[in-house]
Every structure is written in structure tokens, then in C-alpha cells.
Structure 1
């Protein structure tokens, strides 16, 4: 195996790309177009991006490509079609962790992914990702352009709401269909159907909350009469955060958000009042959070968790009864509402596709949902986060949350 170092070049736009020397390509890459793409020095198109939000090719920097067999402790148990595949990178997961390895077929130029299972190589298989490196690079670029509303998606700058999201989704899916002859791999189908949802809401004019949800967005998603709105008389004095009060009055929350059940018994209680009135004797004052008199209970999450809002700051928190611990859940009431909308929208999309998303690649869907939410609300991916309710729930394949 070559031990030479791959070349990093910078284009005129400042984007770093990775190219390989002829020695690094030999004898692994024989496909002419792939060799040309990887070996072309210093041009804006050829080569691979070193790192990004969707995937990373940093594995190529240290010593060029290596085969799956070379990366395994016991390659004899590998399927024959996996042994000579080249490991060139990895997909990104939550908090930028690497998940599946990206594989290149040096003879055909096709790109796929696999989970490297050192203890059970006999269980490893491949998922299609792209027919070529050129197509893969274009797919990554198109997805990033959509998220930033630039390039091919520049016309969507400043546009928000379901119609804008639907337009971006159709345009992105068309790019993927053209590049794959209509056989779009699950990873990219999810990118087209889920990732544009992060752009449904824009920033509010007064910046009091994170998002300005389109008028009637929740009503259209959950149905008329299934979104509860509150009056001032419903709020305890502890709820002093006016932007939260205004959101609950004007926009409201769905009564049944699948993973969240809104408390419709009003007035809304503080966490201390809830346990005193509804479940006396279960928790002493010492077992509740120190500021339980300033935490307003909005409803309950599954698995013995309560959803509460800090009455002073508007932060949305998760009170875990089993652990008697408060965890950060959402930045504010607007990003909570977006999260509930995102979950409901994903389930509707999956049902429309006869559960194609959850059946084909649940783990990739969980990652896509987590990353989509984090672009709107980074609470779960913040450096100080040790556990996050939504992230854990998305990944619960056995529970069928998505």
C-alpha cells in the first residue's frame, strides 16, 4: 500500500479539495474517469472536498485509499464484493461523528457505504450512494446550495413557508434523479425530502424568538381544532417571558404531537404545583429542581418525561422523572413547535411513500432528522450537551419513533 501523502489544493473560491498522486491511485483505481477526477491537480471541479457537514474524505489525507480487507482485523469473513472496495471517507452523524464508511469501487467508479463491523465482518454489506465521484460531488454541492439558498437555489433567498420548501425539495430531488437515472439512493432521497424542511420558517423581525413560523403552519399540519391556544388567564405568574406568552396565545401548540401531549387543563401549573396537586407525595421539594416554582409544565413526553418552560428565560427543558434531572430540550417555544411539526411532517412523508424511508435505511433517516433539527436549533448538538431527548428518540429504531 502506498504511504505517500495525498495532495490538498485550494481552488479560486478557497475551497480545499483532495487529489491523489498516480502512485496512490495504483493499483487500486483502474477506472479511467475516476482516476482523472482524483488525479487532476488544482482545478475547481476535480478532486474531493476534505470535510463537510454531510460527509468527509479526510481518510484520504493520511495515506491514500485502502481496501476494506486491509482495514479489517479478520478479512476472511468479508463478502467477496467488499474485500477490494476502497475506503475513502465517511458519512457524518450527529455532532459530526463519523458513521458509515464511504467506499469506492476502483474498477467501476461506483460509490457505496458500509458499517465497518470489526467483530462481525460477515454481517457487513453495501448501500448505494452514487454512480461516480463526479455525481457524488455534485449531490453534495447541490444539497449545500439548497441549505444556503445559493447557486442553483439562489432564487429562494428570503422565501419561507411550505410552498418554498416544496419547491426546493422538488428541485433537489430532480438533481438526484438526473444523476442516478431515477434510482435515487435512500440517503439522497432523505436529503431531498427532509433537509429542506429546516427552511420552512424564517427569523422573526424582533428576534425575540428563534423562528417566525408561517401563519397557520401548525393548523395545516395537525388539523383545525387540534392546536391549542392560550389566554393570559391560563398562564401562572411565574411565566414572565412575554415572547413565550405571545407565542402560546397567537400560534399555540398541537394538543397531540405524537411524542408530546399538551396539558389542556388550564391554568398551566408550575412543576411544583403539578406534583403538589396532581401527584402528591411522589416527589419532595428537595427532589424537585431548585427553581421548580419558576418552571411551567406544558405537558408530558413519553417515558416519564415532562416538558417544561423556564418562566424567566423561555428555555424549553425536559424534566426526567426516572433521573430527577433537568435536560435542555429546545432553545425556545418556537423551536419546540418546529420540532413537533418536523416529526409530524416526516411521518406523513414516510406514510405517503409506504414507509420507504424507515424501511430502507432507518439509521440514515435518524441522522438526517437530527442534523435537520440542529440547523434550526443546535441545543442537542451543543458542546455541553451530554444527553438530548430528541436525538435519543430519533435513533430509537426498535421503538419506531420515526
Structure 2
């Protein structure tokens, strides 16, 4: 076995490494030839570089011999990664057929472990991972989208990526690639802000189309406090608006938008941040958390009342709107899949860790707040990671 480089390491094996563990001819050729990258997208093969080829029986110890017969000789070659680079599911290789699958490790109950399809071969797996990686970087076969944005561009990129997956799987696209094809291209929906004065230029009526026209609230000038001096923010709230009520956020629409100081005017003991007169409360998040915008800069912040602390939330009102739209779009896609309206894919999105990682990647593409902040916590990132919370 050999490993070259560091971050761009390629892991190759020798015929001696493979011994009788891999009898599938083209799989042997791939492992001794092109090899596997240590990491690509949400796939890691670092374990193969560290441990070499191991059967699932060897990897688990299989106390009591409880692994299913068809699981015992599967080879552990890597893992699926979450957005923090931690391995979640293990990637398995069938040395006889060349098929690649994933499984959850159940150390105490190996009898519950089962395989989920990932790719029919290592060659197809690398093709899928490379295409997804090229879309994320808008290079290679997706380089033409570097200067294209909008719903049409996103839809075209989605169809192109999906066609790659379908060709390699006879239309039975595994969950990881379904999420990549449907979610990852959504980053193309909004272009960089060239006319709005904000971080993003959203397509006209994007929010109305997703939430319903009657669900979007547009403010009037009389609703704005004098300290909201950031004109692009005023214009966005007036002309584009925000969804009035979502699962995670509800606008204040009963009274003109208050500053944070005005909101707590009846609570003399409230501990407020510096500049509370310039922080305009747009509405509330869950569990005593407020969403506020800095009237001078347009930055969108999360005010945690229990902690009496401000956290960065979004770059500005345009990236907040995109975040709310993305969360609703994912829910809509999941519902369409569940009801069979997207016939070619046939199943809901998942698994959660990789779906969350894909969503976080999309948000990071259009708004680096969750990645660039010095804070040790970010509301949207935490919401997406929280499987028990049921947002995804």
C-alpha cells in the first residue's frame, strides 16, 4: 500500500494487499491503479490508508458472531463525513462484486447493521464524487456555471448532475447523491449583489413562489424606526419582504418595528448589548431568541435573551431571506419525494448528517457567516445539525 501527499493524498494498494479479499477484476485494477483519494467532498478513505483492507468482522470484532452472513466479508474502506469532517457512516466495498455501500456501526448490536447502496463500483463512486466536487467549486464540467445564476441555472445544473448519477445507477440514485443533485445546485439560485446593494440579488418573487404570495410581509416606511439608516435593508424589507411565519422564525407585524431598547422598555432589569438603540428587532426565533438587524450596517444578528449575548446570524437581510427560502425548499423537495411527485428519485432525502452537511455547504457558499465568525456557535448551523429537532 502507498499514500502520496497530504491533503491531496492518493491511496493505492498492491496485489499483495488485496490477496484474496478482492477478487473482482476491475476493482483490483482500480485499487492498484488510480487508487482512492484520502478525502473528496463528503467521502473519506483515510481509514484505508491507516488500517489497510479489513473485513467488517475484523473491524467490529463481531462479538458472538452476530453479523449477518452477507455483512461479514464486506471490506471497510472509509466513511461518510459530516460538515465538521467527522466520520458518520462507514463505506463498505464488496470484494466479489465491486459494489460500494454504507452502514452504521452498531458496536453492541452488530446484528442490526445493514448495507445501503452508494455506488455500483469504485469507478462510478469516483465519478459521482468528482462531479459533485466540481459543481461545488464551479469547475471542470460545471465551470460554465461560474458566471450564471438564477432558478434556471440551478435547475439545469441539478438535471445535469442527476443525469450523471442516473446513468451510473440505472435510475436508482442512492440518497447521498439525491441530496447532492437536488440541494447543492440551489446555491446558484441567487447571484452576487450587483443591483441590490446587499450580498445577494434574489430572483424576483422567489419568496412568493416558495411560501405563497399571501405569506410574504412587506413593510411600509412608517414601520421603520429612524435608526434603520441602511438604505438597502429598508428597500429590501419594503419591496421584497420576508415570510411572515416559518417553523423557525416569526416576524413582528403587529406594531412598527421596535429597536431592541424599545422592545425591552418595560423591563428595566433587561441586560442589553451596546448599541441597542440601533438594533432593530425583526421578530423572534425559537426559545427566547430574537432576530435583529443593525440599522447602521444591515448585519443580521441573533440576540439570545437567556445569555444576554449577540451572535452573528447572516451577512445581511438578503442572505437571511435566502436561508429561510433554502430551509423551505428542502422541506418542499422532501415532501415531493415522499409523495412520489419526483418519480425518478423515489425516496425522501437523507441520511441526516450528509443532508445537513450539504445544506451547510450551500449556505456557506452564499454566506460565510457560519464559517467565518469567531463565535463558537451559529444558530442556523446548529439547527441543521440537530437531527432530533426535526428541521430536516
Q: TM-score, normalised by structure 1?
A: 0.87
1:354 to partner: Cα distance: 1.9
Quick one: which of 4, 13, 18 aligns to 1:8?
A: 4
Tell me which residue corresponds to 1:71.
59
**Cα distance change of structure 1 residues 367 and 81 upon mapping to structure 2, 3 Å threshold:** farther
1:206 to partner: Cα distance: 6.6
Q: What stretches of structure 2 of length at least 5 have no aligned partner?
A: 340-345
Q: Tell me which moved more, 143-152 or 214-223.
A: 143-152
Q: Tell me which moved more, 230-239 or 104-113.
A: 230-239
Quick one: which of 21, 26, 30 aligns to 2:23?
A: 30
Structure-1 separation of matches of 2:50 and 2:291: 46
**Cα distance change of structure 1 residues 243 and 362 upon mapping to structure 2, 3 Å threshold:** same
Where does 1:3-402 land on structure 2 (aligned, <5 Å)? Answer: 5-8=1-4, 16-40=9-33, 46-72=34-60, 74-75=62-63, 76-205=65-194, 208-276=197-265, 280-281=266-267, 284-285=269-270, 287-354=271-338, 358=348, 361-382=351-372, 384-402=374-392
State the number of aligned residues: 385
Structure-1 separation of matches of 2:373 and 2:122: 33
Q: Which has the higher contact order (CA 8 A, sep 6+)?
A: 2
**Cα distance change of structure 1 residues 15 and 362 upon mapping to structure 2, 3 Å threshold:** closer
**Cα distance change of structure 1 residues 384 and 98 upon mapping to structure 2, 3 Å threshold:** farther
1:140 to partner: Cα distance: 0.9
1:9-52 per-residue CA deviation (whole Å, 9 max, x = no partner) reads 79xxx965322122222232221110101101xxxxx2222223
**Cα distance change of structure 1 residues 387 and 126 upon mapping to structure 2, 3 Å threshold:** farther
Structure-1 separation of matches of 2:289 and 2:329: 23
1:373 to partner: Cα distance: 1.8
Tell me which residue corresponds to 1:43.
none
1:367 to partner: Cα distance: 2.9
- Equivalent residues of 2:40, 2:133 under 8 A apart: no
Structure-1 separation of matches of 2:335 and 2:61: 41
Q: Tell me which moved more, 67-76 or 247-256.
A: 67-76
Q: What stretches of structure 1 of length at least 5 have no aligned partner?
A: 41-45
Q: Tell me which moved more, 172-181 or 296-305.
A: 296-305
Q: Tell me which moved more, 290-299 or 117-126.
A: 117-126
- Superposition RMSD in Å: 2.6
Structure-2 separation of matches of 1:219 and 1:29: 54
SS, match of residue 80 in structure 2: strand
**Cα distance change of structure 1 residues 328 and 215 upon mapping to structure 2, 3 Å threshold:** same
- Equivalent residues of 2:118, 2:176 under 8 A apart: yes
SS, match of residue 225 in structure 1: helix
1:174-201 per-residue CA deviation (whole Å, 9 max, x = no partner) reads 1111100111111111111111111111
Structure-2 separation of matches of 1:395 and 1:385: 17
Q: TM-score, normalised by structure 2?
A: 0.89
SS, match of residue 290 in structure 2: strand
Q: Tell me which moved more, 50-59 or 112-121.
A: 112-121
